[in-house]
């Protein structure tokens, strides 16, 4: 997810470093973790240049480990995003691959406490997944290679990575105070989120403040370059692109995201 955040600022990821801490090092387990990190770096086009492994027997229970990391990127000062975001710009959405890495406090409560299941249970929303745990651990989608050509072509005025706080809290971070987003084309909830909504009883607003709800990245594009952006995204392998809405002028007391479509 670090590299997605770099792209939102207009940056290109350069390298990543990891931190792995455990009570007693299991070499096979640690190697599997590093392979996963290396695959993420490959997808982002950045280098895994180092990291730290720490053994602290008194700090971790057997089998537990702590994992963290950070990424460094670069952008020319005059290309930092958001830039020149204005009324009339259009919103394009790219699908998420699943829960990503946000909302898991509620997910755990719903799966274990509300539904009485565990992570080894049969997955109720995805027959192709062997267990609930396997489905929930679907890797976060990395959007770097889809977005970099648009950044290079100066097609984007802004980006929003839909993480904690969902669409309602992340999109406004890329908007100036005088504009708001009118969302008319949010897709129907993917099965995992439909299950979470049904099990939790949350309304649309709370879902949109908690989960990505199927949209992992929102691109803000000038209207006259929107089709050019769609072509570039398809060339980068993005087969599904949602026309989510448009930016309009905002009154001072209005919320910055107005939903005109339901999560149905």
pLDDT tens by residue, 73-132: 999 999 999 999 999 999 999 999 999 989 999 999 999 999 999 999 999 999 999 999
The percent of residues above 70 in pLDDT, for the chain, comes to 100
Query: pLDDT, tens digit, for every residue of 165-189?
Result: 999 999 999 999 999 999 999 999 9
Q: How much is the average pLDDT of 4-20?
A: 97
CA distance 161 to 84: 18
The percent of residues above 90 in pLDDT, for the chain, comes to 96
Give 160's pLDDT tier (boundaries 50, 70, 90).
Answer: very high
CA distance 137 to 197: 19
Write down the pTM of the prediction.
Answer: 0.95
Give 264's pLDDT tier (boundaries 50, 70, 90).
Answer: confident
CA distance 74 to 94: 23
CA distance 191 to 13: 32
| Average pLDDT score over the chain | 96
The answer to whether 255 touches 177, Cβ cutoff 8 Å, is no
Give 148's pLDDT tier (boundaries 50, 70, 90).
Answer: very high
The answer to whether 24 touches 62, Cβ cutoff 8 Å, is yes
């Amino acid at each position: 997810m670090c590299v997605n955040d770099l792209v939102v600022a207009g940056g290109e990821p350069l390298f990543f470093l990891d931190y792995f801490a455990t009570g007693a090092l299991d070499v096979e387990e640690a190697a599997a973790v590093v392979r996963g990190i290396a695959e993420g770096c490959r997808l982002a086009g950045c280098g895994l240049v180092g990291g730290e492994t720490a053994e602290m027997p008194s700090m971790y229970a057997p089998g537990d480990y702590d994992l963290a990391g950070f990424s460094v990127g670069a952008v020319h000062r005059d290309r930092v995003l958001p830039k020149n975001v204005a009324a009339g710009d259009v919103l394009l959405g790219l699908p998420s691959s699943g829960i990503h890495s946000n909302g898991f406090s509620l997910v755990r409560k719903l799966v274990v406490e509300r539904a009485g299941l565990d992570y080894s249970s049969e997955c109720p929303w995805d027959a192709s997944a062997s267990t609930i745990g396997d489905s929930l651990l679907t890797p976060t989608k990395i959007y770097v290679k889809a977005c970099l050509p648009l950044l290079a072509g100066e097609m984007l005025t802004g980006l929003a990575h839909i993480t904690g706080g969902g669409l309602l809290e992340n999109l406004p971070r890329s908007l100036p105070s005088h504009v708001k987003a009118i969302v008319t084309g949010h897709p129907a909830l993917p099965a995992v989120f439909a299950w979470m909504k049904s099990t939790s009883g949350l309304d649309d607003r709370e879902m949109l403040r908690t989960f990505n709800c199927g949209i992992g990245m929102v691109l803000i594009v000038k209207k006259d370059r929107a089709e050019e952006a769609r072509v570039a995204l398809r060339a980068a392998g993005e087969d599904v692109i949602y026309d989510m809405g448009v930016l309009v002028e905002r009154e001072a007391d209005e919320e910055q995201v107005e939903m005109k479509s339901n999560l149905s």
